[in-house]
């Protein structure tokens, strides 16, 4: 009887210490998640973020005049650039820019009257600038278009942040990358209806409520990139799914899939993006109430 009396306070002490450590770990995890989210917001608001997009205009073969005048092929925002600012000429997968007389356009930060702004042998397009406007050429299969940014765009000025679900450590999942002997290609369709076959390093396998699920992963730099949907898509979250990144696994094939860091695709913030949408095998059969909620903009 006495032995039980002695052990009981020790048990309570051990339990208290365990709960204290768990609370500290949760608090630290929440702090790290908030810090990560602050960085995410900075990226959205940056000059190359998604909040300042002001246009996406596809080029015709041959000359494409640009400026704020309504008769241009590429009509830029009124009052932001001269009525006739110049011409973008497409020839195949190459594009050159010729500025109008007395119009000072910067190409990669330097004044230029004539410049090659997209070369078929280069994966990086030149950035053109005039005042608050920035634009470059993007390629989507056989389509070439002008991606236009306004550093004073109302969507950027009026931005109040992104609503999220409460941080929940139970949505931080350990996952195993299941690889095949041979490289797999998966079909990814974008908002333009174009489908590309992209190389996948494998499937991430993880458990939710005791059941195993998989998501096909893509590679992006030193990370895995996952496009997924779930039962919140089109309701609490963006209709065309969300994105999530994970570190590439080590030799044991294990990584962390943290749904608290699930983010909206660019198309949730602007109509001028060409986001990929989740393949059907990446639609999870449950509600993932973690990460970013849908962002409503005018």
Tell me the per-residue pLDDT of 197-217, one tens digit each, with 9 for 90 and over: 999 999 999 999 999 999 999
Higher pLDDT, 180 or 241: 241
298 located within any domain: no
Q: Using 50, 70 and 90 to split pLDDT, how confident is the model at 1?
A: very low
Is 217 in the same domain as 243?
Answer: yes
Is 177 in the same domain as 215?
Answer: yes
pLDDT for residue 77 = 97
46 located within any domain: no
Q: 20 CB contacts (<8 Å, ≥6 apart)?
A: none
In the predicted model, what is the mean pLDDT of residues 120-141? 94
Mean pLDDT of the chain: 92
**Boundary-marking domain end, from 152, 180, 198:** 152
Is 167 in the same domain as 116?
Answer: no
Is 143 in the same domain as 244?
Answer: no
pLDDT for residue 27 = 86
pLDDT for residue 35 = 96
Task: Using the predicted structure, report yes or no on whether residue 8 has a pLDDT greater than 90.
Answer: no
CB atoms within 10 A of CB 21: 10
Q: 137-158 pLDDT, tens per residue?
A: 999 999 999 999 999 999 999 9
Q: Using 50, 70 and 90 to split pLDDT, how confident is the model at 2?
A: very low
1 located within any domain: no
In the predicted model, what is the mean pLDDT of residues 177-190? 89
Is 133 in the same domain as 175?
Answer: no
Task: Using the predicted structure, report yes or no on whether residue 19 has a pLDDT greater than 70.
Answer: no
How many domains does one find in the chain? 2
Give the rounded distance of the alpha carbon of 296 from its chain centre: 16
State residue 85 phi and psi, 5-degree precision.
-100, -25
Is 57 in the same domain as 131?
Answer: yes
Is 135 in the same domain as 175?
Answer: no
In the predicted model, what is the mean pLDDT of residues 154-182? 93
Is 264 in the same domain as 183?
Answer: yes
**Boundary-marking domain end, from 90, 125, 152:** 152
Task: Using the predicted structure, report yes or no on whether residue 95 has a pLDDT greater than 50.
Answer: yes
Higher pLDDT, 73 or 298: 73
Q: What is the DSSP string of the chain?
A: -HHHHHHHHHHHHHHHHHHHHHHHHHHHHHHHHHHHHHHHHHHHHSTTSSTTEEEEEEPPSEEEEEESSTTSSEEPPTTSS-SS-EEEEEETTEEEEEEPTT---EETTEE-SEEEEE-TT-SSPPPEEETTEEEEEEEETTEEEEEEEETT-HHHHT-----BPPP-GGGEEEEEEE--SS-EEEEEEBTTS-EEEEEE-EEEEEEETTEEEEEEEEEETTEEEEEEB-TTBTTTB-TT-EEEEEEPP-TT-EEEEEGGG-B--GGGT-SS---B---GGGB-SS----SB------
**Boundary-marking domain end, from 121, 152, 183:** 152
- On whether the CB atoms of residues 86 and 64 are closer than 8 A, the answer is no
- On whether the CB atoms of residues 273 and 185 are closer than 8 A, the answer is no
pLDDT for residue 238 = 97
96 located within any domain: yes
177 located within any domain: yes
- On whether the CB atoms of residues 248 and 256 are closer than 8 A, the answer is no
9 located within any domain: no
pLDDT for residue 26 = 75
User: For residue 187, with 0-12 CB atoms within 10 Å meaning exposed, 13-18 middle and 19 or more buried, which class applies?
Assistant: exposed
Give me the CATH number covering residue 101: 2.60.200.20
Is 169 in the same domain as 271?
Answer: yes
- On whether the CB atoms of residues 78 and 70 are closer than 8 A, the answer is no
Is 273 in the same domain as 180?
Answer: yes
Is 119 in the same domain as 166?
Answer: no
In the predicted model, what is the mean pLDDT of residues 111-126? 92
Q: Using 50, 70 and 90 to split pLDDT, how confident is the model at 298?
A: very low
pLDDT for residue 208 = 96
Task: Using the predicted structure, report yes or no on whether residue 116 has a pLDDT greater than 70.
Answer: yes
Is 171 in the same domain as 272?
Answer: yes
In the predicted model, what is the mean pLDDT of residues 285-295? 97
pLDDT for residue 5 = 43
pLDDT for residue 30 = 94
34 located within any domain: no
212 located within any domain: yes
In which residue are the tokens 């991606």 written? 147
The two three-digit tokens of residue 42, written as one number = 């900075």
* Domain, as residue range, for 205: 162-282
CA distances (Å), 207 to each of 82, 214, 278, in order?
A: 57, 9, 20
- On whether the CB atoms of residues 60 and 72 are closer than 8 A, the answer is no
């Amino acid at each position: 009887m006495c032995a039980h009396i002695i052990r009981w306070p020790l048990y309570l002490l051990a339990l208290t210490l365990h709960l204290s450590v768990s609370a500290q770990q949760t608090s630290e995890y929440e702090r790290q998640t908030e810090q990560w989210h602050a960085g995410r917001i900075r990226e959205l608001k940056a000059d190359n973020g998604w909040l300042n997009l002001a246009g996406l205009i596809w080029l015709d073969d041959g000359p494409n005049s640009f400026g704020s005048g309504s008769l241009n092929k590429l009509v830029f925002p009124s009052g932001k650039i001269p009525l006739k600012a110049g011409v973008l000429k497409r020839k195949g997968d190459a594009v050159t820019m010729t500025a109008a007389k007395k119009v000072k356009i910067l190409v990669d930060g330097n004044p230029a009257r004539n410049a090659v702004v997209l070369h078929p042998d280069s994966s990086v397009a030149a950035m053109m600038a005039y005042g608050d406007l920035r634009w470059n050429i993007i390629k989507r299969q056989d389509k070439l278009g002008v991606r236009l940014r306004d550093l004073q765009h109302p969507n950027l000025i009026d931005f109040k942040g992104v609503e999220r679900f409460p941080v929940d450590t139970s949505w931080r999942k350990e996952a195993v990358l299941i690889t095949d002997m041979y490289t797999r290609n998966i079909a990814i369709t974008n908002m333009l209806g174009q489908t590309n076959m992209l190389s996948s390093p494998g499937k991430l396998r993880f458990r939710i409520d005791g059941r195993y699920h998989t998501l096909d992963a893509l590679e992006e730099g030193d990370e895995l990139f996952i496009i997924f949907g779930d039962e919140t898509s089109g309701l609490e979250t963006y209709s065309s799914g969300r994105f999530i990144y994970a570190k590439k696994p080590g030799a044991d094939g294990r990584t962390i899939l943290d749904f608290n860091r699930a983010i909206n695709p660019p198309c949730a913030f602007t109509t001028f993006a060409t986001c990929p949408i989740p393949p059907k095998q990446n639609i999870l059969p449950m509600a993932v109430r973690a990460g970013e909620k849908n962002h409503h903009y005018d």
